[in-house]
Structure formats: structure tokens, C-alpha cells
């Protein structure tokens, strides 16, 4: 698979809740770095930690949480994805849309590192009454 195909498949697996496919696309020493200001943001190590502390946590934190890709750029070992997060905060009923960039570093045809750069202000505004 090309770098773009790997990342498209990763998003498909993430949306489908296909944990086995997501895990297979990642290196064993995966590093997943979320923006410090992102709700629950941190650095996670390994696919299992990402599934539990990112994917499952976002589904609990937001109703209809989604990432929409708008543009993708690739080199032989890096993919940059521009897009936006959307969802509704259950506690307030407020919807949000936040601009975000995802940067993936690939090693041996697998995802080795993820970095997120997000405008988190709309997220926090939606979470506050």
C-alpha cells in the first residue's frame, strides 16, 4: 500500500471500530501525540492505548464525534491530513467544529508516530455551559 492508502485504511478502520485492522497498520512502538489542549490530550504508546484512551474516550466525550478529511499530502514516509473534528457535547448540547492537522510518520509501511495540531477552543466552548 502507498502511504496515502495506509492512512485512508487507518481512518476506515477507526470509523468502523475495526481494532484489529487499526492495530495491524501500526508499529508495536507506536507513539500517538495529541495536542496538550485537546480534551483528554496526552501522548499514548501502542495501538491498544490509542484505542482505549483516544477512540473510545472521544466516543464517550462527544455525541457523533467525527474527523472529516479535507486534504491529504504524502511523501515516502510521512502523510499530512488537514480537516476538522465535529461533534456535540452531551452535557451542554452544543455542537463544535474544530480545524485540525494530523501528521503521520511511517516506518516499514506502518504508522510509527501520529501528531495532532488542533484549534481546541471550539471544543472547550462547546463543553462549557
Summarised one tens digit per residue, pLDDT across range 49-101 is 999 999 999 989 999 999 999 999 999 999 999 999 999 999 999 999 999 99
Each residue of 67-82: b (16+ CB within 10 Å) or e?
A: beeeebebeeeebbbe
CATH number at residue 94: 3.10.450.50
| 8 Å CB contact between 40 and 48 | no
Task: For 1-56, write each residue's pLDDT tens digit.
Answer: 999 999 999 999 999 999 999 999 999 999 999 988 888 889 999 999 999 999 99
Range of the domain at 49: 3-127
Q: How many domains does the chain have?
A: 1
What pLDDT does 111 receive? Answer: 98
Amino acid at each position: 500500500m502507498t502511504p496515502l492508502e495506509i492512512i485512508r485504511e487507518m481512518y476506515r478502520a477507526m470509523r468502523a471500530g475495526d481494532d484489529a485492522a487499526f492495530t495491524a497498520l501500526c508499529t508495536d512502538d507506536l507513539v500517538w501525540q495529541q495536542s496538550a489542549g485537546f480534551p483528554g490530550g496526552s501522548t499514548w504508546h501502542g495501538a491498544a492505548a490509542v484505542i482505549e484512551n483516544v477512540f473510545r474516550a472521544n466516543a464517550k466525550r462527544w455525541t457523533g464525534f467525527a474527523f472529516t478529511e479535507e486534504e491529504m499530502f504524502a511523501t515516502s514516509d510521512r502523510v499530512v491530513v488537514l480537516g476538522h473534528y465535529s461533534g456535540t457535547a452531551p452535557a451542554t448540547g452544543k455542537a463544535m467544529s474544530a480545524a485540525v492537522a494530523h501528521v503521520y510518520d511511517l516506518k516499514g509501511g506502518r504508522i510509527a508516530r501520529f501528531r495532532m495540531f488542533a484549534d481546541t477552543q471550539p471544543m472547550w466552548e462547546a463543553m462549557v455551559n
